[in-house]
Amino acid sequence: MFRTVMSAGDVRAMGDAGVKAELRRELLAGRAKLGPADVAAAGAVLARRALETEELAQARTVAAYVSVGREPATRALLDALRARGVRVLLPVLMADNDLDWAPYEGPDALVPAGRGLLEPAGERLGPGAVLAADAVLLPGLAVDGRGRRLGRGGGSYDRVLARLEAADAAPALIVLLYDTEVLAEVPAEAHDRPVRAAVTPSGVHRY
């Protein structure tokens, strides 16, 4: 996996953005080695771990996402939350990379979208709908011991987190990862916001 210890000279030469890009490449290469059975098995365990957390046990509304490719699988978790009577909101990617939201109404109500994504076919509720969430499940590639999350670099969730902060909303922020993606250190920039917890197949990591 990624070389979490780098010299000061390397960091200065690459800059935070360069370090993040290199880290993303290495983490995505690690995910590329996973087969469909590995992803499905990890997703089933991940769902059980997440459902046991206090944050999701008490949540009435959860903003989540539909995993794609070799991301930690979320389908089992989405269905389990919905079966509990939790209102689940899923993102809809807009042209400017910001996120709209729509309710999850089951796997049959998901439709293909751009970039290989799946999105809910229901009513669009607007970008501000996330402010009603008690918990927000975030995609990511890594997290470190200070709760700093590394995303894919598209900036969509940076906008979501900034929107929550501007509205003084404080849902539980939880990132879903594989065990190998909990690192000693993740490069961070001024706009990055820490998460409360990371859930992996082996357990819950709190910050």
20 annotated to a ligand binding site: yes
Q: What one-character-per-residue DSSP string does the chain give?
A: -------HHHHHHHHHHHHHHHHHHHHHHHHHT--HHHHHHHHHHHHHHHHTSHHHHH-SEEE-----TTSPP-HHHHHHHHHTT-EEEEEEE-TTS-EEEEE---GGGEEE-GGG-EEE-S----GGGGGG-SEEEE--SEE-TT--EE--S--HHHHHHHHHHHTT--PEEEEE--GGGB-S-----TT----SEEEETTEEEE-
136 annotated to a ligand binding site: no
The CA distance from 92 to 120, in Å, is: 7
154 annotated to a ligand binding site: yes
84 annotated to a ligand binding site: no
157 annotated to a ligand binding site: yes
119 annotated to a ligand binding site: no
User: Taking a C-beta distance cutoff of 8 angstroms, is the pair 178, 38 a contact?
Assistant: no
193 annotated to a ligand binding site: no
155 annotated to a ligand binding site: yes
71 annotated to a ligand binding site: yes
The CA distance from 23 to 21, in Å, is: 5
153 annotated to a ligand binding site: yes
105 annotated to a ligand binding site: no
149 annotated to a ligand binding site: yes
23 annotated to a ligand binding site: yes
Annotated binding site for substrate: 66, 71
**What residues are designated binding site?**
20-24, 66, 71, 149-157
Residue positions in the annotated binding site for ATP? 20-24, 149-157
